[in-house]
Amino acid sequence: MPELWEAQFASKRLMWGEAPTRSALLARDFFVARGARDVLIPGVGYGRNAKPFLERGLQVTGIEISESAIAQARSELGLTFPIHHGAVGAMPFDDAQYDAVFAYGLAYLLDAAGRAKFYADCFHLLRPGGAMWFTLISKTAPMYGQGPKLGEDWYERAPGLPMFFYGRESVQRELGAYGITEVSEIDEPVHGGSYPFLNVVCVKTKPERD
């Protein structure tokens, strides 16, 4: 999958446009209202979803597997915030902790073990009282069930592009241990249309288990 994303970013300039997603704008307002000072964005791409946080004065740190996407963030959008080059499966990259984590369209590209590690790592990187915001593709999306079935609600939408589609039961199963405070539905514009997503918010109110 790293090769797929590298090819995608390398072949098309700003493939999703410059505008941030609706979910990023909502997450920004939510984090700012909570007094967040910094945010980690795994799968930051070329940075379109980082801009709303930067504009409100939050310090942003990104993680991105595609060197081409990082290059576009620097050359096309002029973004200079730190970006760790690597896969989210290699988290954490340093000893920093954050007030907030925002991840759009990322976790559902991982297999079950990868998703479990990703959520646990994000929670570990939160300061006490911090919040996580995940935007996940919904089972009500029109492409649900298309392509070879890899497992429950998990399909290979294109060669090398598996997708896990979420419902409220799977959200609770995978994220219930991390203090879910909200699950809401949202339509996000994608390539001239829109797809249904779930926004899942978790707050770190309890200490981590050893």
Cβ–Cβ under 8 Å, residues 39 and 51: no
**CA-CA distance, 141 to 88, in Å (whole number)?**
25
Q: Is residue 142 part of a domain?
A: yes
Confidence of residue 2 (pLDDT cuts 50, 70, 90): low
Helix ranges (H only) for 83-209 are 112-124, 168-175
Q: Is residue 209 part of a domain?
A: no
Confidence of residue 94 (pLDDT cuts 50, 70, 90): confident
Q: Which range of residues forms the domain containing residue 171?
A: 2-203
Q: Is residue 66 part of a domain?
A: yes
Q: Which two tokens stand for residue 22?
A: 């609706």
Count structural domains, the chain: 1
- Please give the helix or strand (H or E) that residue 32 lies within, else none: helix 22-33
Residue that is written with structure tokens 């707050």 in the block: 203
Torsion of CA 168, 174, 176, 180, to 10 degrees: -70
Q: Record the pTM.
A: 0.91
Q: Is residue 71 part of a domain?
A: yes
Confidence of residue 44 (pLDDT cuts 50, 70, 90): very high
Q: Is residue 43 part of a domain?
A: yes
Question: How much is the pLDDT for 189?
Answer: 86
Q: Is residue 19 part of a domain?
A: yes
Question: How much is the pLDDT for 23?
Answer: 97
How does pLDDT run across 128-167, given as a tens digit for each residue? 999 999 999 999 999 999 999 999 999 998 888 899 999 9
- CATH number at 158 reads 3.40.50.150
Phi first, then psi, for residue 86 (nearest 5°) are 165, 175
Helix ranges (H only) for 37-167 are 51-55, 67-75, 112-124
**CA-CA distance, 47 to 69, in Å (whole number)?**
8
Q: Is residue 210 part of a domain?
A: no
Q: Is residue 140 part of a domain?
A: yes
